[in-house]
Amino acid sequence: MGLSRRTFSILAGTTALGFTLGGSIGTTTKASASRSVPTGPAPGPPGADGRGHTVGFDRYSLLVDGRRLVLWSGEMHPFRLPSPSLWRDVLEKMRAHGYNAVSVYVSWNYHSPAPGRYDFTGVRDLELFLRTAAETGLYVILRPGPYINAEIDGGGFPGWLTATEGRARTSDPAYLRHADEWLSRVNQIAARYQFTSGTGTILLYQIENEYDAFVAEPAGRDYMSHLYKKVRADGIDVPLFHNDKGRNGHWIPGSFDTGGEKGRWLYGFDGYPEPARVPPDWGHFGVGGARGGATASPETPGFMPEFGGGWFDPWGGAEFQGKGYAQARRTRDAAYERRFHLTNLANGITLHNVYMTFGGTSWGWLPAPVVYTSYDYGAAFDEGRNATPKLAPMHQIGQLLQRQPDLAKLDRAAAVEPADDRLKAYHLTNPDTGAHVYVLRNDSDERVTTTLPDTDFDVPVSVPARDARLLATGMALGQRKLRFSTVQPMFCLTAGRQDIAVFAGPYGEIAQVVLDCPEEPETTRLDAEGAWVYDRGLLRVTAPLGVGGLTRVRVEGGGHDRTLLLFFTDDATSLRLWPYDTPSGSVLVYGPALVRDVTLSGDTVQLTGDTIGETGMEVWGPRGIARVTWNKGPVPTRLSGTGSLLAERFLPGVRPVALPSLAGGWRRRTENPEAEPDFDDSAWKSANRTTSYSVTPVPEGQPVLFADDYGFHYGDVWYRGRFTVGADDLADLESVSLAYSTGTQGLLMAWLDGEPLGTHRMPVPDKRTVRKGSWAATATFEVPKALRGKQAEDGAAHVLSVLVRRMQHDQDGKALDTHKVARGLTAVTFKGAAPKVRWRLQGEGAPDRVRGPQNNGGLHGEREGWHLPGFEDGDWETAELPRADRRQGVTWYRTEFRLAVDPGTDASIGLTLDDDPARAYRVQIFLNGWNMGQYINDVGPQHTFVLPNGILRTRGANTLALAVLSDGTTPAGPGEVRLTLLGAAAGGVPVEPVDSPGR
C-alpha cells in the first residue's frame, strides 16, 4: 500500500522547517568498567570510518565505544544467493526495516574444492560481502565454523574431508590441521574487516556451532580452546562466542581455557519454539541457572545467536503438510514474531539474531539431505527477495530498539497482575531513566481487554488473540514524557525543530497516547481521525489506526520549545515509514515501498528506493532542506502543515513485466551411454581400495566402492562392473543385490549388458524421519529370463552398470563423524553365481572454476557440457512440451529464451514445473550453466525455483537445460514448464552479470 490519495491531498501549510544537527562520537569504555555506563543514545550506524573502536559488554548489553547497543540482527547466507549484486539489495532492505546487523555463516565446502585449495572470488567473494555490509551500515556477526550445520551439505564440511583421517569436531590433530588451514584463510580476510580497527563492521565472531558433544571431556574442551586461541592468533580481536544448541549452559565463560584472556567471551543459545507453544522465559522470568538460558551466564548480556524466524521443510513437505514455505510463513506470522520476540526482550535478551531473515536458495548440490532446493524458511523476506507482512513487527521493534535507549538497560520490576488473568504481563524498568516497560502477552484464542492495576494505565488495554505488545510509561518522547500509551511505540526522532513519535498497532484499533503536560499545549488535529482532550496535566490523544493511512496530531508549546508530532499507524502503514540517520540529522520518509539510502547535499534530500504501486511521498528532515530527488530525478514538493516536504505528484509504480512462453523451441537428447556394454570406461577410476576413513564398514572380501574415497563428492556417480561367467553360470544367475547409501531421496538404477534391471529409491521422509541424514538400502533385481537365456560364450565379459543419485552428506550435528557415512554403492552380491567383479566408477569432473564444486555431478551430459550456454545442440531432435516418455535413464532438454525487463525494474523471476504427481521423475535445472536445483515431480513440495538476477539475464538471452531422470515405471515429463513473476518493483540495485562461461 502506498501513501494514499487522501493523505497526499490533505496536507498543506507553510510551517517553516526546524534545524538541528545530530550525532556525536562515542567515548571508549572498557568492559570491566561497564557497570557505570549510563543509559544514553545508541551508537550511530557503523561503517568503515578508519577510526578505532571498542567493543565490550556488561550484563545488560553490548557496549560500543562506551554506548549501549541492542543488537537486532538478521541471518542471511551469501552462498544461498549466487549473485553478488543482490547481496546489496537484501542488506539494504534489512537495514531499512530496522535491522542493525547481519549474521552470516561462511561455509568451508563452498570455498574449498580440494585440500589446500581455496576460492574467495566471484560468487564466493567474502571481502565484497563484508565491504557491502559496511557500506550499508550494518554490523556483521561472522560465523565461519569450521562446522556450521545450516542445513548445508556435510554441515559445511568440504566433501574431501570425508576421505581424510581424524575425528572431526574434536582435538584430533589430523582434523585440526585441516580446520586450522580453513580458519587461516577466512581470518586473513576477516581480520581486515573488523569494526575495532575501523576498516569494516565485523562486531562479533562465532567459533564452532551448536557443539554439544564432549562438553565434559578433554576432546571437547581442548577443541574449543584450540579454536579460541587459533582465532585470536589470527588477529581477530572482537568478542567471541558460541551458540549453545539449547538451554544447557554449555560453553559459558570459564568452561574452557582461553589462554588467560577474560571478559571477551559471550555465552549464547539458540531457540526455535513451536508456534503452538507458549513463549518460553529464557532469562529474567525463567527457571534460572544453567538451563535457564541467559541466566546461565549472569555477567554477560542475554544473547540468542539464532531465534527461529521460520523453519526448514524436508523432501515431501511433511513439516508443513505438503504446503511448503507458504505454510511456514502462515504458522510463524507477524503475531508469532511479535509474541516471541517481545517475550525475549522482556527476559533481558538484548542480542538477537533472527534465523532466517532471508533464506535464499540451496542451489546445486549445496543442500543437506534434510532439505530440498528452496531455503525460503518462511522468512520475513521470501526467496524472491520480496518483503512479506511478517516484517511489520520486525520493522517496528528494530526501529524502537535503535532509537529508544531505555530498552538497552532494563531490570525486572514489581509484578503486575492484569485484571484478566488470560493476559500475562512482564514489568521492567530502566534504573537510569525511571522509564517502565510492560510486555503484555495474550496466549488465548480471543482478544483480551483488561485493566492493569497499580500502574499508570488508567484505561483498559487490549491485546489481540495469540499476540503481544510492548507498552511504556515514563519514556521520553523528545522533550516530552509519555505517561502511557495503549499501543506500542515504534520510534521517536528529531527532525529539524520537531520531535516525531510514532505509535503502531492493529488496523482499526482506537489508540490512546497520554502525555505529561503541566501546562496546556496547543494541539492541532492534522487528519480528520485524530482527537484530543487536555485535563489536569495530561494530554490524551486518540486515533483509529490505519484508517486513511497515517494519522497525525501536532502538539506545540506547553513549556517546550520543540513541536511534537504524534503519528498513529497500523502494521501495513508502518512499513511505509522510513527513518534514516545522516551526519546532519535524522530524516523520515513516508510513502514508498522501500527507502534504500538518504543523503543530504546542501538543501537537497537525495533519496533512493523502490515503489510497487504509485504512491505519494512526504519527507521530514533538518532545517534548511528545500528539495527532494528520488532515484536521481527531481520531485516537485511543497511545504506541508507538519513541516514536511510533500510531493506534489505521485511517484510512479512498477511497469508490467512480460515473460515469454517456454512451450516451444525445445531440443531433446537421451543419454546414459554408460549403460551400454561396449562403453569405453578405461579412463574411469578403478575401485581398488581396500580401506576407508568412512564410518561405514567395508564389506569383507569386497573393494571400497564409496564414491568419496575416489574423489567424487557431489551429484551422481556411475559404476561399471565387469565380470566373466560361463554360459551355464549366466543361466543360473537369478538376481543381483546392490547395497547403497545416500542422503534423503537418493536412488539407484541398474543395467546388465545394457538391459534395464530396474530402479530403487529411498522412501519419502515422514515426520519421524525428516532429520535422518543417511539412508541405506539393498536393491535386489531379478535377472530377466530373457537376458539369462541369451547366447553367451564361456568366458564372455558382462557389464553391470549402476547409476546412483547420491544426494548429499549427513550434517553430523551430533559430532559423530556421520558426514563420513558412505555415499554410493557399498556392496554387491549375486544369487545363483559368484562372479568376481572388477569395478570402475566415475562422478563429477573437475570443479567448475566459476560455479564451484557443488555445481556439477556425474551425469554424462554434465561431463560433456550439455548444460552450458553455447553448447552446440543443433543435431538434437526437436521436442514439444509437455512430454510423456517412458524409459529408465536420463533425457536432456534444452531451450533458449530472451527477456526484456525495463531498466530500473527489479523483477524477481522463477521457473515453475507442473505435472501429474503420479509421474515418477526428477529434473536437474540448469540456467546459463548454473545448477539451480532439483525438482522431484512425485515427491515435492517445491514446484517453483528462483532464478536470481545476474545469473538470469533480464535483458538478453538465456539458456535453460533440464536433465530429466526417470525410472521407466511411469510416463515421465517434463510437463508444463513456465516462467513465473515472483515480484517486481521500480528501483532495485544495479545488477552485474554473473559470469556464465559456456562451450
- Pairing outcome for strands 498-505 and 563-570: parallel
CA distance 687 to 997: 33
> Collapsing DSSP states into helix, strand and coil, what is residue 90?
helix
The residue length of the chain stands at 999
Report the distance separating Cα 706 and Cα 712, nearest Å. 9
φ and ψ at 522, to 5 degrees?
-90, 120
Across 142-171, b (16+ Cβ under 10 Å) vs e yields bbbbbbbbbbbbbbbbbbbbbbbebbbbbb
- DSSP secondary structure of 749-793: EEEETTEEEEEEEPPPP-TTTTT---EEEEEEEEPPHHHHTS---
Own/partner long-range contacts of 594-597 (Cβ < 8 Å, ≥24 apart): 594/92, 594/93, 594/96, 594/387, 594/985, 594/987, 595/96, 596/92, 596/93, 596/96, 596/987, 596/989, 597/92
Q: What is the distance between the alpha carbons of residues 484 and 472, in angstroms, rounded to a whole number?
A: 6
Active site members: 210, 306
Strands 240-244, 202-206: parallel, antiparallel or unpaired by DSSP?
parallel
The C-alpha cell that represents 13 in the structure block: 501549510
Beta-strand ranges (E) seen in 357-466 are: 411-412, 423-429, 436-442, 448-450, 461-463
The C-alpha atoms of residue 428 and residue 406 are separated, in whole angstroms, by 10
Report the alpha-carbon distance of residue 219 to residue 230 in Å, rounded: 16
In the chain, % helix, strand, coil (3-state, to 5) comes to 15, 35, 50
Nearest Cα neighbor of 203 from 142, 257, 160, 291 is: 142
Which alpha helices (H) appear in 99-250, and where do they start and end?
108-111, 126-136, 173-190, 218-233
255-264: list long-range contacts, CB under 8 Å, 24+ apart: 255/221, 255/224, 256/221, 256/222, 256/224, 256/225, 256/228, 257/221, 257/225, 257/228, 258/225, 258/228, 258/229, 259/225, 259/228, 259/229, 259/232, 261/232, 263/31, 263/32, 263/56, 264/31, 264/239, 264/240
Nearest to 206 by CA among 251, 154, 250, 144: 144
Separation CA 191–CA 202 (nearest Å)? 9
- Rounded CA-CA distance 713/844 in Å is 8
Give the amino acid at 293: G
- For the chain, how big is the Rg over CA atoms in Å? 31
Q: Rounded distance, CA 427 to CA 413, Å?
A: 5
CB atoms within 10 A of CB 449: 13
Comparing CA positions, the residue from 134, 34, 123, 126 lying closest to residue 86 is 123
Contact 929, 867 (CB under 8 A): yes
Q: How far is CA 43 from the centre of its chain?
A: 26
Q: Are 932 and 361 in contact (CB under 8 A)?
A: yes
Residue 154 backbone phi and psi in degrees, to 5: 65, 20
| DSSP secondary structure letter of residue 292 | S
Report yes or no: 311 and 377 within 8 Å, Cβ to Cβ. yes
Per the CB < 8 A criterion, the answer to whether 742 and 757 are in contact is: no
